[in-house]
Chain A
Amino acid sequence: MLLDHYSGIAPTGDLLLLRRLGELLQGKTFLHVNSTRSGGGVAETLQRMLPLIRDLGINARWEVIEGDMFFFDTTKKMHNALQGNREYISEEMWGHHFGVNRINAGKINLEADAVLIHDPQPVPLVEFRRGGCWFWRCHIDVSNPVREVSDRIMRYSKKYDAAIFSVSKFAQALGIDELIIPPSIDPLSDKNRKLTDTEISEALERLGVPADRPMILQVSRFDRFKDPIGVIQAYRMVKKYNNCILVLAGSPATDDPEGAAVLGEVTAYAADDPDIHILLLPPFSDKYINALQRAATVILQKSLKEGFGLTVSEAMWKGKPVIGGATGGIPLQIVHGVTGFLVHSVEGAAFRTRQFLNNPDMTKRMGEKGREYIRKNFLITRQVRDYLSIWYRGENGGKGVVEL
C-alpha cells in the first residue's frame, strides 16, 4: 500500500485512522474539482493526495473546469478582491462566471458521495449538485475581503453542507458549518524527501552557491509582501558580526506582473555584494529548493502578509528552525521560542538570525522540535485524515462527537 510508505514518518494514529476511514468509506466516490491541473499549491497537493485516497479503496476523482480568458481574468479579479484588493466585477462578469460553470456542470460527472470544490472559480457548481456531501474548500486569505465580492461568492458557498478554511480568522459567518483544515506538505515529494549529501552538494554546485560559510535562506516569490528587501537589510546587520551568505530563491510567477519589477528592485538593492545570491529558479525546481533548505543554517520567511506560508513547514521538516513574520498562517507553524522565532521587524530578524548562527546547539534543538511539530500537524496524511473524517461525519448526522 502507498500508505505504508508513510509508516515511521507520519504519526501512527493518523495512519490508523486513515485505514479505519478507508474501511468505512470503501468503494464510495470522492470528487475534487478545481480550475488547474498544474501550477499552484492546490494542484500540487491534489496530485499527491489523490493516489493516497485511492489507495484506501475510495474512488477518488479529480476534475478541472474549463473556461476562456474572460472567465480566468474575472476569477483572478475575484481572487484578488477576496484577498482585499479593490477590484470591479461587473454583472456581465458574474453572469459569465455562472455560465461557464453551467457549461462545465454539463460536461463533468458531478455524481459522487462527497464533492470538494476548491476556491472561487468552480464555486457555482453547487447549483448543479446531485446528492452527496458538498464541501467548499477556500484556500485564500479571506480575512479582509472586498465585501461586495465576498457576499456574492458566499451566496454560493452557503448552499454547501460545509465550508473549509485554512485558518480560523478566514472563516465567515455563513450559517453553515465552517471547518478549519490547514494545508500540508508531502514528506515523500521531491521538495521534501530526504536527499543524500552528494545530491545536496551537486545541487549547490549547479546553483553556484558556495558551501563554505553559513547560509541564510529565504525561499519565496519576488513579492513585496515577502519583504525581500527587509531580508537583505537583516542580513547586512548580521554580516557585521558573522561571515555568512544570503540566498534569496524564488520562481517567476506568470500570474504576477509585479514579480519582475520586485526582482529588479531586489537585485539593485543587493548591489555588488558577492555573498548575496539571488536565484530565479524555473518551475519544477523542487529538488533544488529541497537542497537549499537542507544546506541552509538559518531559514527566514519574513513575510509582511501571508496566506499560509507552507515554505515554513517545508523548512521545519528539514530540521531547520525558522524565523518568520508574525502574519497569516506563520504563527500556526512557528511556536515562538520553541520551534523558531516570530519577528515583527528587520531588527528582530537580524537579532534572531545572529542567535541561531552563534548557538548551534539551540539551533539544532529547536530544529528537531520544529520537525516533530510539523510531523504531528502539517503532513499530507493529516490533511487526508481531516477530509475523510468530515465527510464521514457529514454522512452520519454532522454531530460534534463522532465514534468510528
Chain B
Amino acid sequence: METTTPFEFKQYVSVLKAAGQRAGNLRELREVIAVVSDDSLFHHTYQYFLKDHVLEYTNDFAYWAGESLEERVLAEQLSNIDPYIFNHIDELRRALLSVIDTYLEGFPEPRQALSGEEFYFNETVSFIFPAGIRVKNLAEFLIAMRYIDPSAIYYHFYEARVRLGVDDLSAWVETSLGRKQLAERIRSIDPFMHSVEGIREHIVEAVEDKVRRDMEVL
C-alpha cells in the first residue's frame, strides 16, 4: 500500500467577466495596468497558459502590443516577464509598468490601436468541480495524468502555485507517496516555458520513468 491519502482531481472552467476598463494606446494601457484589479492582471498573465494555442507571446499585453500596436520590441519585452518568479501580483504589476515606462522613454510614441482593436480588461469567474477521478498510487496517477482534462492540469499545476506556492501534484507525490525525488523533478518543470499539454508530457515522462524503475527487478 503506497498511500493512505488519495488524490482527488478537480477540473476548472471559467466565465469571463468584464473589468470595465479598456485602453486604446500604450499610455492608456499603462494607466489601467497601474490600477486594475489583481484578478484582471492574473487573468491576462497567468491564465494565458490556458489558451489552446500559445504562439509567440506569453501574456495578453504582449499579444496586444505585438498584434494591435505592432510594437515588436515591446511585445518581446513583455513576453519575457515570467509571472511565476513573483511572490505577489503587485510585483508583477510593477514589472509590467517598468517595461512599458522604459519603452515609452526610449521609443517614438506608439500609434493608437485601430477602432475595435482596443485592449479590453477582463477577469474570470472560476468554477472548480470534482473530475470524478481519485488515485491512490503512482501507477494510477500516471494513467490519470495521461487522460485527465487539460483544465485539471491547469488547476493543479499552475493555479495551485499561485494559491499555495507549490503545485498540488508534486506536493501529493511528496507528502502522500513519500517520493521526494520525483516531486522535485515535477517541481523543476518550468511553468513559463510550456503549454498545459507540454506540462502533461513532462509529468508523464517523469512518472513513467519512476514507475518503470520501480518495476525493474534486475
Q: Are A171 and B128 in contact (CB under 8 A)?
A: no
Given contacts A17-B11, A338-B53, A389-B13, contact A180 B128 (CB under 8 A): no
Q: Mark A304-332, 1 if CB is under 8 A from B, else 0.
A: 00000000000000000000000100000
Interface residue SS majority, chain A: mixed
Which of B16-24, B97-105, B165-173 faces chain A?
B16-24
Of B16, B20, B115, the most chain A CB neighbours within 10 A belong to B16
Q: B39 contacts which chain A residues (CB < 8 A)?
A: 400
Q: How far is the CA of A17 from the CA of B126 in the complex (A)?
A: 13
Complex: A393 Cα to B127 Cα, angstroms: 9
A173 and B20: CB pair below 8 A? yes
Closest residue of chain A to B12, judged by CB? A13
Task: Answer yes or no: B129 CB below 8 A from chain A CBs.
Answer: yes
| Size of the chain B interface, CB-CB below 8 angstroms | 29
Does B52 have its Cβ within 8 Å of any Cβ on chain A? yes
Which of chain B's residues has its CB closest to A337's CB? Answer: B55
Q: A11 interface residue, CB < 8 Å from B? A: yes
Interface residues of A in 3-35 (CB under 8 A from B): 11-14, 16-17, 20
Q: Could you tell me how many residues of chain A have their Cβ less than 8 Å away from some Cβ of chain B?
A: 36
Give the CA-CA distance A17 to B131 in the complex, in Å. Answer: 9
| A402 and B125 form a contact (CB under 8 A) | yes
CB distance from B109 to the nearest CB of A (A): 24
Smallest CB–CB gap between B178 and chain A, Å? 29
| Interface positions of A from 162 to 218, Cβ below 8 Å from B | 165, 168-169, 171, 173, 177-181
Given contacts A327-B116, A335-B52, contact A390 B15 (CB under 8 A): yes
Residue of A144, A335, A337, A402 touching B127 (CB-CB under 8 A) = A402
Q: Nearest B residue to A17 by beta-carbon distance?
A: B129
Are A20 and B52 in contact, CB atoms less than 8 angstroms apart?
A: no
B residues within 8 A CB of A404? 127-129
Q: Is A180's CB under 8 angstroms from B11's CB?
A: no
Are B127 and A171 in contact, with the CB atoms below 8 A? no
A328 and B111 CA atoms in complex are apart in Å by 22
Which one of A13, A143, A376 has the greatest number of beta carbons of chain B within 10 Å? A13
Residues of A within 8 A of B112 (CB): none
A13/B16 contact (C-beta < 8 A), A20-B129, A402-B126, A404-B127 known:
no
Q: How far is the CB of A91 from chain B (nearest CB, A)?
A: 30
Is residue B151 contacting chain A, with contact meaning CB distance below 8 A?
A: yes
Task: Assess whether B129 is in contact with A169, with CB atoms less than 8 Å apart.
Answer: no
Contacts of B130 in A (CB 8 A): 20
Asked if A168 and B18 sit within 8 Å, CB to CB, the answer is yes
Spell out A's residues near B (CB within 8 Å).
11-14, 16-17, 20, 143-144, 165, 168-169, 171, 173, 177-181, 327, 335, 337-339, 373, 376, 385-386, 389-390, 393, 400-404
Please provide the 9 A-B residue pairs with the shortest distance between their CB atoms, ordered closest to farther: A171-B18, A180-B16, A168-B120, A404-B129, A178-B18, A13-B149, A401-B126, A338-B53, A335-B53
A-B contacts, 30 listed (Cβ < 8 Å): A11-B149, A13-B13, A14-B13, A16-B129, A17-B127, A20-B129, A144-B115, A169-B22, A169-B120, A178-B20, A179-B15, A179-B16, A179-B17, A180-B15, A180-B17, A181-B16, A338-B55, A373-B52, A376-B52, A386-B15, A389-B127, A390-B15, A390-B125, A393-B127, A400-B123, A400-B125, A401-B125, A402-B126, A403-B129, A404-B128
